[in-house]
Amino acid sequence: MANLHTEINFEKDICDYLNAQGWHYSPDDTGYDSELALFPEDVIDWIKSTQDKEWQKVKALHNGNSEKTLLKRLAEMLDKDGSLSVLRHGFKNVNAKFAMCQFKPAQSVNADTIAKYQQVKLRVMRQVHYSLSNQNSIDLVFFINGIPVATAELKTDFTQSVQDAINQYKHDRVPKDVVTKREEPLLIFNKRSLVHFAVSTDEVFMTTHLKGKDTFFLPFNLGDHGGKGNPVNPNGYRTSYLWERVLDRDAWLNIVGRFVHLEKESIADDDGTSTEKISMIFPRFHQWEAVTKLVDTAQIEGTGQKYLIQHSAGSGKTNSIAWTAHQLASLHDPNDKKLFDSVIVITDRTVLDSQLQDAIYQFEHKHGVVEKVTNEGSSKSSKLTKALQDRVPIIIVTIQTFPFVLDAIRESTSLKDRSFAVIADEAHSSQTGATAKKLKQVLSAERTQEIEDGAEIDIEELLEAEMAGRLQPKNISFFAFTATPKAKTMELFGRVGAFGLPEPFHVYSMRQAIEEGFILDVLKNYTPYKMAFRLAFNGQDYDSEQVDQSKALKSLMRWVRLHPHNISQKVQVIVEHFRANVAWRLDGKAKAMVVTSSRKEAVRYKIAIDKYIETQGYKDVSSLVAFSGEVFDAESGPDKFTENNMNPGLKGRELREAFDTDEYQVMLVANKFQTGFDQPKLVAMYVDKKLSGVTTVQTLSRLNRTYPGKTDTFVIDFVNDENEILSEFKKYHETAELSDVTDPNIIHNLQTKLDATGIYTFSEIDAFVAAYLKPKAKQSEIQSHIAPAVQRFRVRMKEAKASVPEQQKEVDALELFRKDIATFVRIYDFLSQIVDYSDTDLERRSIFFKHLSPLIVEDNRTDEIDLSDVLMTHYNLRDKGTKNLWGGGKDEGEDNTLKPITGAGSGAPKDPAKAMLREIVAQMNELFEGNELTDADMINYAAHIRDKMMESDVLAKQSAANTKNQFGASPDFINIFEDAVISAYQSHKSMSEQVMGKIHVKKAMAAMLLDLVYKGFEEQRTK
């Protein structure tokens, strides 16, 4: 056929398929009423066949005019309440009430309900002339019992693309005719059609609200190998899933009945008032597929299962979780038994409970389906227990409350025979109290310290802690939603795939989210900086002093990071880059985050950035700092530093709330807010902290949220290697993959190694565990059985430390033992969730080691390193150029998989590398100075200028009589500064030429000298 490739045949293929699957088919719009926007024949047929008793009431009142009267009344109610409400809850006419649809019931016990469901009439109609003002026609309209619920404009990619269909909706399918100004009932928001599909042979897009040229379409595609679009279909069109899967009778009615809902949102206006925004939420394809697949699989598999859903930021997890919770709460097994007594949702999303309650009320017109457990009123534990015992369908708890949930289920006899679904949201939260204590069981010491410093933890860590040392309970199913699953999470919650390794149950990738425009690519504008410096001694001779090399390197690096010159140089880069490249974006509302390495560093950054902003006279930049607890830093001030006293403008507000206003543009963070912070106006991030693992992705992803007008993001990185950053992102760019699973024998190998040390005996372990498990045991009993092992360790450590340096390997062996028993506890707690060892030896050792570990805690065996006479002589901070770190997915042959636990406890003691402090400093100079460092970078050039200026009696008098800003504004200050620069010309030619020849260099140098000179005179006066 010559016209086989045309749109009309594409249209016919879709309709023929649907007709074969039970849809009624109208090849044209005969019988369609464009004024009522109904297909009357199907409306009346549904009412007569399913509700004859009510129909007779109408006939009695309007005999001879019944159909017309009823259709008019139905149209009125559709115009008033919308098709979604009428289809779900029906309408009334005088003394009669009519249901306009029967959705599939959760149970099959009611034969009449099932029969009604089977009588629901779905219809597809071609070329529908919908307008009251023109002859425009829409390619396809889809009806439920005569009510139109969806439209579609089709294009074949042989001649046109999906963008042509989108443009047709925007310009030719307007809800109000541009000439007559008359509304088109079929196209008006929330009256008839719930969704409009732009369909080509390659792609599908959708919208729920036609607004002319301002209409926003969302992709409704499968995804193509981790990216946007649709894969090649060997059996037909790429987009055939739309009519084969989505428009399947059961699937389509389930979408209309249990997915689509209205969402109301209060939008704050600039004048302080708020506007209510109403949106029609139709699931994106991956949301519908994931929720449907989860519910169907749970129905087949029953309770006691685990499901890992890897959905990127921008996937719409709030709605996905809400739909999953609602549908699991009413799910029945094939024998019509309710599968879950309650569904427990763990989330810190403050809007989820209200959104869920609103949506469920739209679905069912019921109250009391959702209950959020809070601290208000009675205790959390009693509230939880009551909600669980009362079989509240959906219970929402925070991450902090979740441990009480499992405790209640385990400890309450009335709950042990019930079944529960636990939906875990990846949202991060700060941890306190009992929750934090539980986490210490499974987290490394470094990670534990980060949390104590205010870092947010995610639900994966909490679930691991709660399940530690326990096999999967058979009455609880876990549904874990996360964008960045860790290796342990994959092993705990993943399902064995085609290659024999655990993998996610469902994936919506970061790459697809970026390509579809739901999040931004944060690696697109990535600028690494190279910091180079040189250190030297001044004064004391250290030739005889030896120190541990690794500790010296860490101490020196910490000293460099906290050095005022280092921070001041980075502050200048941050502020000037922000003002030049970021501040003006988003109509002046753009914001930035500075990620620091420690709380002390955050304090010094805050002081330095505020000082620089004040010195420069900038009025368009203001900062906040976020950190937990109190910081004591004598060099910055005599008093303790807290969030409150460092952020005086908060005025009782929370940091998140204050930062969202136009008052503040830059937030400095130390662990806190680094990962669990959602601020869509963040455009830039300045990173001065070493990042690794999944934290890399979680930290930089703070930038990826979309916002009107936000097209670019900026990362300025002072510390990290760009290749390492890229490598971490590649692990989660598409589907997270494991390279292998953890070898279950690793715990046996570690047991053998620990047993061989001779620090404990088998009889001591048995006696300790027997006493520990005895119902009424006293602490003195368990102390007596563990004390011999503690004593052996302490004696051997004392003797080892007293030996000559050449024989101190024993110290390292004992340090390794200390680390290995902690590793044993963590690994066993993890593996015992996956493997049924049936080995009481392992369980007994886990109990024993858990109690032995705190009794042999590490002491600080290394003397503090004296850095008081180390000087920074050279410094350079160089921009290495902005680059796009990637353009696609994983390179062929490159290993970007997640690594399981390997080699636990395989460490061996080593001689600590010893070196003279002078040699270590020389080594750091070699490591960090680089070829780009020249004499023009020497810090002592500034000292030379300062000394020359401090010879001036005029400046000495002015500094004593004026504030620093007044002192710096004096013409004498600038004149004497220039004289000092000229006097240094011979010895510092290159730098002097730059100062005198470049205005911005001269201005920056004068600002730096203002601090040095003013402080210098202050010190002189106090001596």
Kindly state the average pLDDT of the residues 824-852.
Answer: 79
pLDDT class of 954 with cuts at 50, 70, 90: confident
- Torsion angle (degrees, nearest 10) of CA 476, 477, 481, 485: 90
- Is 187 a residue whose pLDDT tops 60? yes
- How high is the pLDDT of residue 323? 93
Q: Let me know: does 291 contact 283? Beta carbons within 8 Å.
A: yes
- How high is the pLDDT of residue 2? 53
- How high is the pLDDT of residue 729? 87
CA angle 501, 505, 506 (to 5 degrees): 125
Tokens 């995610």 found at: 458
Tokens 């053998």 found at: 752
Kindly state the average pLDDT of the residues 742-754.
Answer: 83
- Residues near 193 by beta carbon (within 8 Å), at least 6 away in sequence: 83, 141, 148, 149, 150, 151, 186, 187
**Of 451-455, 557-561, 1016-1020, which has the strongest mean pLDDT?**
1016-1020
H or E segment at 872? strand 870-879
Tokens of 802: 């007293």
- How high is the pLDDT of residue 375? 62
Q: pLDDT tens digits, residue range 891-935?
A: 555 666 656 656 666 666 655 544 555 555 555 455 444 444 444
- Is 439 a residue whose pLDDT tops 70? no
Q: Let me know: does 243 contact 233? Beta carbons within 8 Å.
A: no
Length of the chain: 1023
Q: φ and ψ at 7, to 5 degrees? A: -65, -35
Q: Which residue has the higher pLDDT, 937 or 506?
A: 506
- Is 142 a residue whose pLDDT tops 90? yes
- How high is the pLDDT of residue 1013? 85
- How high is the pLDDT of residue 101? 96
Q: Which residue has the higher pLDDT, 487 or 205?
A: 205
- How high is the pLDDT of residue 431? 41
Q: pLDDT tens digits, residue range 813-823?
A: 888 898 888 88
CA distances 200 to 6, 12, 20, 105, Å, are 11, 14, 21, 34
Residue 682 half-sphere exposure toward CB, CA atoms < 13 A = 27
Tokens of 853: 């570990």
Tokens of 390: 């009362």
Tokens of 881: 């150029």
Q: First vs last Cα of the chain: how many Å apart? A: 101
- How high is the pLDDT of residue 927? 43
H-state helical runs in 303-391:
317-329, 352-364, 380-389
- Is 566 a residue whose pLDDT tops 50? yes
- Mean predicted lDDT score pLDDT of the chain: 82
Q: Which residue has the higher pLDDT, 695 or 459?
A: 695
CA angle 78, 84, 89 (to 5 degrees): 85
Same fold: 284-431+459-508 with 526-540+557-731: yes
- Residues near 843 by beta carbon (within 8 Å), at least 6 away in sequence: 832, 837
- Torsion angle (degrees, nearest 10) of CA 487, 489, 495, 497: -20
- Is 160 a residue whose pLDDT tops 50? yes
- How high is the pLDDT of residue 21? 96
**Of 258-267, 921-930, 980-989, which has the strongest mean pLDDT?**
258-267
- How high is the pLDDT of residue 889? 46
C-alpha to C-alpha distance for 840 and 785, rounded to whole angstroms? 18
Q: Which residue has the higher pLDDT, 862 or 54?
A: 54
Q: Let me know: does 187 contact 131? Beta carbons within 8 Å.
A: no
Closest alpha carbon to 1022 in 960, 955, 965: 960
- How high is the pLDDT of residue 298? 95
Region for residue 284 given its phi and psi (left: phi exceeds 0; alpha: psi -120 to 50; beta: otherwise): beta
Kindly state the average pLDDT of the residues 161-181.
Answer: 92
- Is 441 a residue whose pLDDT tops 90? no
Kindly state the average pLDDT of the residues 380-390.
Answer: 81
C-alpha to C-alpha distance for 873 and 875, rounded to whole angstroms? 7
- Cβ density class 165-180: b for 16+ within 10 Å, e for less: bbbbbbeebbbeeeee
- How high is the pLDDT of residue 825? 83
Q: pLDDT tens digits, residue range 624-655?
A: 999 888 999 888 888 999 999 999 998 888 88
- How high is the pLDDT of residue 1010? 83
- Is 130 a residue whose pLDDT tops 80? yes
pLDDT class of 704 with cuts at 50, 70, 90: very high
The answer to whether domain 526-540+557-731 has CATH 3.40.50.300 is: yes
- How high is the pLDDT of residue 472? 63
Q: pLDDT tens digits, residue range 84-111?
A: 999 999 999 989 999 999 999 988 778 8
pLDDT class of 283 with cuts at 50, 70, 90: very high
**Of 190-204, 304-318, 425-439, which has the strongest mean pLDDT?**
190-204
pLDDT class of 936 with cuts at 50, 70, 90: very low
Can you give the residue ranges of every domain in the chain?
7-260, 284-431+459-508, 526-540+557-731, 745-853, 912-1022
- Residues near 642 by beta carbon (within 8 Å), at least 6 away in sequence: 629, 630, 631
H-state helical runs in 412-509:
433-439, 445-452, 459-467, 487-493
- Is 578 a residue whose pLDDT tops 60? yes
- How high is the pLDDT of residue 223? 94
Tokens 């890897």 found at: 310
Question: pTM for the whole thing?
Answer: 0.78
SS3 label, residue 1012: helix
- Is 989 a residue whose pLDDT tops 80? no
CA distances 120 to 113, 140, 151, 239, Å, are 11, 19, 19, 26
Q: At what angle do helices 402-411 and 459-467 cross, to 10 degrees?
A: 20
Give DSSP secondary structure letters for 371-385: EE--SSSS-HHHHHH
Domain 284-431+459-508 fold? Rossmann fold (3.40.50)
pLDDT class of 443 with cuts at 50, 70, 90: very low
- How high is the pLDDT of residue 216? 94
Q: pLDDT tens digits, residue range 508-533?
A: 998 999 999 999 999 888 888 887 76
Specify the range with the lowest mean pLDDT, choosing from 322-336, 710-724, 898-912, 952-966: 898-912
